[in-house]
Amino acid sequence: MFALVDCNNFYVSCERVFNPGLNGRPVVVLSNNDGCFISRSNEAKALGLPMGGPAFRFRKTLEAHRVALYSANFALYGDMSSRVMNTLAALAPSMEVYSIDEAFLDMTGFERIGLETYVRSIRHRVRRDTGIPVSIGLAPTKTLAKLANRMAKKNPQFEGVCILPDREAARRAMASMEVGDVWGIGRRHTEFLNLNGVRTALDLADAPPAWVRKHLHITGARVQAELNGDSCLPLELVRPPKQSICTSRSFGSAVTDEAALGQAVAHFATKCALKLRGEGELAALVTVFICTSPFEQKHRRYYGTRTASLLLATQDTLAIVRAAAAVLGDIFKPGLSYKKAGVILGGLAPVAATELRQASFFDPEPLQVQETSSKLMQALDAVNSRYGQGTLRIAADAGTGWKQRQEKLSPHYTTSWDDIIEVRVDS
DNA sequence: TCTGGGGTCCTAGGACCC
DNA sequence: TCTGGGGTCCTAGGACCC
């Protein structure tokens, strides 16, 4: 049996842990740039504020009901997430951390204690130790556990826990669920399935397998098998290494200036390089993209992107920033209002394989230079991890020609001493 | 005026190898 | 008149997830 533990309204719940006055009130957390709703309390959902809805379109509702607004505080949410995951890790023999607010647990063997009793105790423990409310779905496959979790959230009478122990229980639950709410069935497939008379999860489970395989491909076939109790998706106990690393941002106001765009790209490349070293990987490909607003009616959208191959895979910030700057020069078109830019690293390989790395015939940098670079990066990371990111940075990343909007940011309660002191003084 | 960020997997087609 | 079989790698596009 798999349990899916999912934090309720996770980002809002994190804000509430440190500000209990928010309980019972409508609360929303906004995306970067304070643009869209990315987490809503139940009270906010009841007001009709949609997931992903742009905040400016709902200003009247937000004001009329005095909805509490927060800028996304990912430092806080990431730290709260690890508290939740650490708590869960102690309560099951194995666990897969599926996302910032979800984990699958292996519940094999707990039948002897009584699954429901045990799962309720997990729920209580997480609430007690972290302050975060969770819902739990339990079933013989991951896809059915997701479905059970959704049932637990939708129906208050379940009190946060829903178990689908056998085929009959699963079929009853599937009959009441729209096919588009099944894990792995997105908007396009929902449209296609509805057109073909497949409306509920049960309809999909009972559809001819060859037809599903043909139109929804191998991933859809797996979903169908899982709905029928045939487990195809095992717990992934160790996170596989990343295949790409991306840093991108929308700008608070449009950027037209090439120099300002260059500062943003240098900043994103720097962040990517830091993440890359954190993963213990080297990158061989650097992609840069810049684009104008997709919502702008008057002008056609420009989306410029290009990838550069590095002669030798690296994790050196300077080399990656240099490569990114060169790519930017290729795709920059003057006279446009840029709304977003980003850097993506690809061709990743573990540092551990460095000795096996194929050197380049044309490589201008001998091995000694690479060793120097590695020491420089270690020093850079040591200074910044002690005194704060950005304390020591390269000149290209020093400018402020681009900015994000972030007007309602809560303190970094769990990751910054300065922010805790600020709270004490304020109150 | 104002609309997020970061990923994965699958398929098909092209180019290439022996 | 007739032209094989078995592969890999790369890229673009589509679909999905949170």
Q: Which amino acid is residue A150, in one-letter code?
A: R
Share of chain A above pLDDT 90, in %: 75
Mean pLDDT of A325-341: 91
Confidence of residue A364 (pLDDT cuts 50, 70, 90): low
Output the pLDDT for position A168. Answer: 97
Confidence of residue A273 (pLDDT cuts 50, 70, 90): very high
Mean pLDDT of A360-373: 66
Give per-residue pLDDT as tens, A99-137. 999 999 999 989 998 999 999 999 999 999 999 999 999
Contact (CB, 8 A) for A244 and A349: no
Find the nucleotide nearest A191 (Cα to C1′): C15
The rounded Cα A319 to chain-centroid distance in angstroms is 27
- Give the HSE-up count for residue A58: Cα atoms under 13 Å, Cβ half-sphere: 23
Angle CA A99–A101–A102, to nearest 5: 65
Rounded distance between C-alpha atoms, residue A195 and residue A190, angstroms: 8
> How far in angstroms lies nucleotide B13's C1' from the CA of residue A301?
28
Mean pLDDT of A260-264: 94
Query: Whole-number mean pLDDT of chain A?
Result: 91
The better pLDDT of the pair A390, A423 is held by A390
Contact (CB, 8 A) for A5 and A137: no
Confidence of residue A423 (pLDDT cuts 50, 70, 90): low
Residue that the structure tokens 């009793």 belong to: A117
Is the pLDDT at A367 greater than 90? The verdict is no
Q: Which domains does chain A have, with CATH numbers?
A: 2-163 (3.30.70.270), 167-228 (1.10.150.20), 245-397 (3.30.1490.100)
Helix axes A167-175, A142-154, angle to 10 degrees: 60
Output the pLDDT for position A419. Answer: 84
Share of chain A above pLDDT 70, in %: 94
> Which residues, at least 6 apart from A287, have a Cβ–Cβ distance to it below 8 Å?
A305, A306, A307, A308, A327, A343, A344, A345, A346
For residue A325, give both structure tokens.
């700057």
The protein residue nearest B2 (Cα–C1') is A56
Output the pLDDT for position A398. Answer: 84
Q: What is the pTM of this model?
A: 0.92
Confidence of residue A422 (pLDDT cuts 50, 70, 90): low
Q: Torsions phi, psi of A207, nearest 5? A: -70, 155
Alpha helices per DSSP H over A66-208:
74-89, 115-130, 142-154, 167-175, 187-195, 201-206
From first CA to last CA, the distance across chain A in angstroms is: 48
Find the nucleotide nearest A337 (Cα to C1′): B1
Mean pLDDT of A193-212: 96
Confidence of residue A427 (pLDDT cuts 50, 70, 90): very low
Is the pLDDT at A73 greater than 80? The verdict is yes
The neighbour count for residue A192, using CB atoms within 10 Å, is 14
Provide the pairing of β-strand A134-139 with A161-163: parallel
The DSSP letter of residue A36 is B
Mean pLDDT of A288-294: 90
Alpha helices per DSSP H over A237-316:
258-279
Output the pLDDT for position A79. Answer: 96
Burial group, residue A316, by CB count within 10 angstroms (0-12, 13-18, 19+): buried
Q: Which amino acid is residue A287, in one-letter code?
A: T
Q: Which of A229, A226, A181 is nearest to A201 (CA)?
A: A181
Q: Which of A284, A304, A278 is nearest to A292 (CA)?
A: A304
Chain C positions with any atom < 7 A from a protein CB: 11, 14-18
Provide the pairing of β-strand A245-255 with A161-163: unpaired
How far, CA to CA in Å, does A372 sit from each of A220, A311, A353, A380, A406?
50, 18, 19, 12, 38
Confidence of residue A376 (pLDDT cuts 50, 70, 90): very high
Give per-residue pLDDT as tens, A12-63. 999 999 999 999 999 999 999 999 999 999 999 999 999 999 999 999 999 9
Confidence of residue A351 (pLDDT cuts 50, 70, 90): confident
Interface residues for strand B (CB within 7 Å) are A 31-33, 35-36, 38, 52, 54, 56, 217-219, 240, 242-250, 253-254, 275, 293, 295, 339-340, 342, 344, 404
> How far in angstroms lies nucleotide B8's C1' from the CA of residue A98?
12
Chain B positions with any atom < 7 A from a protein CB: 1-11
Confidence of residue A420 (pLDDT cuts 50, 70, 90): confident
Is the pLDDT at A361 greater than 50? The verdict is yes
Is the pLDDT at A139 greater than 50? The verdict is yes
Q: What is the dihedral of CA A111, A113, A119, A125, to 10 degrees?
A: -150
Is the pLDDT at A358 greater than 60? The verdict is no
